[in-house]
Structure 1
């Protein structure tokens, strides 16, 4: 999946509605974005396809950099950010989540 690919608004809305009931599965701790945290995010994405990651960083610019790094590393789609929670989508081999046609 190339970073240039995007989701249509309809697809994003569908993913947002699915993500609404989800709790963050990965929480960045005091050590920030470590290799272990990135591995955990990759694992969760491969297993669930749609996940939330909580980034408890108060500095907005730094938080944005963390989001960008996570998206670049995982090659996942950035669905939305609400507060300090990033919602990511990455289609898995089994295709658990069916996206509506754009």
Structure 2
């Protein structure tokens, strides 16, 4: 799903108050982290990920890897913080995605 500008702006405003729930450190990004990110996106739809100072990863590269493997949308990359969005497949978790569709 390709997000339009207004939808991304809405998601950025929702994500502003969120705390990063994942931190990627010196071990980098691996399959276990990707699985956990996919599960968190299924329940929350919108999450933040923080890249720690001791990582060798570059934020844009991590964003591309996550986007391809988890099939989500990268809403924003600011410094070492990524904002990810993926509509939930379960209706009971679809709060943000209903608002995004309405925009």
Q: TM-score, normalised by structure 2?
A: 0.83
| CA displacement, residues 6-28 of structure 1 (integer Å, 9 cap, x when unaligned) | 11111111100000000111111
| Structure with a larger share of its residues in helix | 2
Higher relative contact order (CA 8 A, sep 6+): 1
C-alpha distance in 2, partners of 1:50/1:14?
A: 11
Aligned partners of 1:89, 1:32: CA distance in 2, in Å? 21
Please show how residues 5-20 of structure 1 align to structure 2 within 5 Å.
5-20=1-16
Instruction: Tell me what 1:46 maps to.
Output: 42
Aligned-residue offset at 1:30: 1.6
| Structure 2: unaligned runs, 5 residues or longer | none
SS at match of 1:10: helix
Gaps of 5+ in 1: none
Alignment of 1:1-102 (within 5 A): 5-56=1-52, 62-93=58-89, 94=91, 95-97=94-96, 98-99=99-100, 101-102=102-103
Q: What TM-score do you get using the length of structure 1 for normalisation? A: 0.84
Q: What is the deviation of 1:55?
A: 1.9
Give the ranges of 4+ consecutive aligned residues of structure 1 lying more than 6 Å apart after TM superposition.
none
